[in-house]
């Protein structure tokens, strides 16, 4: 072990790394391996038949579609919110800043029933949206979108905010003194610096939304082919004791998640290179 | 830079940000008004309103119904189980977080980048899949299912399964907070302590711990919020046995599905209070680390 940790006088390398690896293997890697091992009990034809069932395909379309849209909404409004928090002064700013993390701290089931209470046909907002506009929110894909916007809200704000805070106003002063309009300065000077952070926040919000369960199932209505998300399909198969079926869908989701993780890692490295920040 | 901008003449109030005082970084007032309105309406609609709804719905039928719902034996059992779960999951992930941060931030070794990615992995696994994994391992038809049945050990649909699922979903929190913090601080202080003759645990106790205590608290707070609030993963392995394997979030679901909305929101309001407390402590820690120059 000591051969690996060259030039260090500090003790505890073997103990700390050994413990880390054992704990990681037991808690994370072994259970994940079980999922992939279970899939191996299926032939490829069986696997393919499960993951392309019409009801499952409909759930991918719904999960990925609403997650993508929710992440886009969060990118736009997250940027506006981050901008307001860094650049403007307004009453209650500290409170707003602290509450942005609420979706990280609030249990998803609580968020789920609260949003349903707001958007149900007889709910606080639902009675007006459905009564006056004729749009049904809860128990439709639109309700799922609302829940996913809620849980993804902090990601873009919290990735963009620190970059915006660190951004030296010298660049904007230079642009202004060279005759650029404010919009040109933002478009050509500020936004390019924020781009990697925006993309990272988008990817994080999307990845979280695809796997989300607790806040969605209350407001989704869970109607087959219409408002069943992919995680719910796993639960449905499990409740029918169809472990192989549940696992096959889980593998599809896991592969996508790993792909997103790689993408986020790459984006964060890009952010670090662009801005000189470590995180 | 800050001082120069702040001293520019202009006569505006000091509560304005440096960007608003500087004509090169300030937008026209109508742009500012539009951005602020959009941002705050979005905030109010998607964050503030759901939070208010929890408390209003909880108290809709009056305080008496509220207290009755909380004093219910099944609700109290759910509170106890949630506390127990967090009490087991937190120390486990705390020790892991410190060990991982010590190895990663203090030593150079091959595969460090891969290890960092693997530590982040639990964040990108859907909670439902977390539950499924433990069912595949410890369920009646799982890898260890028959062995566990022979020895009369129950993990799935029992408390150990709930704890395992919670440990998984809260796995990265402390490590993620400590690793960048310890990397930023560097190892000079600890090396100096070793050169001066301190033993390993003395170095950790008297040099490292005082430096990382706020980061540690920060990680523990976030870890605790998730541990007490986890729904999807716990839902799969719990079996939903009232009074036995029901955590608070699961109890909320059961009450809600029975159309007992006032009681569901009453239990939910406790969880919402926990979330608010978490945010208060988090903001306070951020403020402390900000002023003492340890911000990361």
- Each residue's pLDDT tens digit, A243-259: 999 999 999 999 998 89
Sequence ranges of the domains in chain A = 1-40, 43-275
- Each residue's pLDDT tens digit, A23-39: 999 999 999 999 999 99
Task: Write out the DSSP string of A191-221.
Answer: HHHHHHHHHHHHHHHHHHHHH--HHHHHHH-
Cβ A208 vs Cβ A201: under 8 Å: no
Query: pLDDT category, B10, cuts 50, 70, 90?
Result: very low
Query: pLDDT category, B2, cuts 50, 70, 90?
Result: very low
Query: pLDDT category, B6, cuts 50, 70, 90?
Result: very low
Of B46, B54, B107, the CB nearest to A8: B107
Please state which architecture CATH assigns to domain A43-275. Orthogonal Bundle (1.10)
Query: pLDDT category, B208, cuts 50, 70, 90?
Result: very high
Cβ A210 vs Cβ A253: under 8 Å: yes
Rounded distance, CA A100 to CA A103, Å? 7
Query: pLDDT category, B218, cuts 50, 70, 90?
Result: very high
**Mean pLDDT throughout A191-216?**
93
Among residues B269, B252, B231, the alpha carbon closest in space to that of B54 is found at B269
Range scoring the smallest mean pLDDT among A262-271, B93-102, B131-140, B252-261: A262-271
Range scoring the smallest mean pLDDT among A40-54, A63-77, A234-248, B232-246: B232-246
Using a CB-CB cut-off of 8 Å, the residues of chain A touching B190 are 10
Chain A contact for B223 (CB, 8 A cutoff): no
Whether the per-residue pLDDT at B14 is higher than 60: the answer is no
Whether the per-residue pLDDT at B37 is higher than 50: the answer is yes
Q: What is the nearest CA distance from B53 to chain A, expressed in angstroms?
A: 6
The answer for B 80-119 residues in CB contact with A (under 8 A) is: 95-96, 99-100, 102-104, 106-110, 115, 117-119
Query: What burial class does residue B284 get, using C-beta atoms within 10 Å of its C-beta: 0-12 exposed, 13-18 middle, 19+ buried?
Result: middle
ipTM of the complex: 0.89
């Amino acid at each position: 072990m000591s051969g690996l940790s060259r030039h260090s006088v500090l003790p505890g390398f073997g103990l700390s790394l050994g413990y880390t690896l054992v704990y990681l293997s037991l808690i994370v890697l072994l259970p994940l391996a079980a999922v992939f091992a279970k899939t191996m009990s299926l032939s490829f034809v069986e696997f393919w038949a499960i993951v392309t069932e019409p009801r499952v395909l409909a759930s991918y379309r719904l999960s990925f579609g609403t997650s993508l849209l929710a992440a886009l909404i969060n990118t736009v409004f997250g940027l506006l919110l981050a901008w307001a928090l860094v650049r403007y002064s307004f009453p209650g700013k500290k409170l707003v800043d602290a509450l942005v993390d609420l979706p990280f701290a609030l249990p998803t089931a609580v968020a789920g029933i609260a949003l349903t209470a707001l958007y149900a046909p007889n709910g606080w907002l639902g009675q007006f949206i459905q009564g006056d506009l004729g749009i049904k929110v809860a128990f439709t894909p639109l309700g799922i979108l609302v829940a996913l916007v809620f849980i993804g809200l902090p990601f873009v704000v919290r990735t963009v905010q620190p970059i915006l805070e660190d951004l030296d106003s010298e660049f904007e002063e230079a642009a202004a003194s060279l005759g650029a309009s404010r919009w040109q300065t933002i478009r050509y000077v500020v936004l390019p610096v924020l781009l990697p952070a925006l993309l990272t926040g988008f990817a994080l919000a999307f990845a979280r939304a695809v796997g989300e369960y607790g806040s969605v199932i209350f407001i989704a209505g869970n109607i087959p082919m219409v408002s069943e998300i992919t995680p719910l399909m796993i639960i449905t198969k499990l409740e029918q004791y169809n472990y192989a079926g549940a696992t096959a869908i889980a593998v599809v989701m896991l592969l996508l998640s790993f792909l997103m993780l790689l993408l986020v890692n790459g984006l964060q490295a890009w952010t670090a290179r662009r801005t000189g920040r470590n995180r | 830079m800050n001082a120069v901008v702040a001293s520019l003449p202009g006569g505006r109030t000091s509560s304005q940000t440096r960007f608003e005082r500087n004509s090169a970084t300030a937008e026209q007032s109508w742009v500012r008004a539009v951005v602020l309105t959009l941002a705050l309406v979005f905030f109010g609609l998607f964050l503030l309103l759901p939070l208010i709804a929890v408390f209003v719905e909880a108290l809709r039928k009056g305080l008496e119904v509220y207290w009755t719902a909380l004093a219910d034996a099944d609700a109290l059992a759910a509170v106890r189980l949630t506390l127990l779960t967090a009490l087991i999951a937190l120390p486990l992930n705390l020790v892991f977080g410190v060990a991982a941060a010590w190895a990663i931030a203090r030593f150079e070794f091959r595969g460090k980048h891969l290890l960092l990615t693997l530590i982040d992995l639990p964040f990108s696994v859907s909670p439902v899949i977390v539950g499924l994994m433990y069912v595949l391992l410890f369920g009646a038809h799982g890898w260890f299912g028959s062995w566990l049945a022979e020895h009369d050990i129950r993990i799935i649909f029992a408390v150990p399964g709930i704890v395992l699922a919670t440990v998984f979903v809260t796995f990265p929190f402390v490590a993620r907070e400590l690793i960048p913090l310890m990397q930023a601080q560097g190892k000079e202080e600890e090396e100096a302590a070793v050169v001066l003759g301190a033993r390993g645990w003395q170095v950790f106790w008297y040099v490292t711990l005082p430096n990382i205590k706020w980061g540690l608290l920060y990680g523990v707070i976030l870890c605790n919020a998730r541990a007490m609030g986890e729904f999807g993963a716990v839902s799969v392995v719990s079996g939903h046995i009232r009074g036995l394997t029901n955590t608070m979030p699961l109890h909320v679901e059961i009450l809600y599905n029975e159309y007992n909305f006032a009681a569901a929101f009453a239990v939910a309001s406790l969880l919402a209070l926990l979330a608010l407390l978490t945010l208060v402590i988090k903001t306070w820690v951020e403020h402390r680390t900000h002023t003492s120059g340890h911000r990361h």
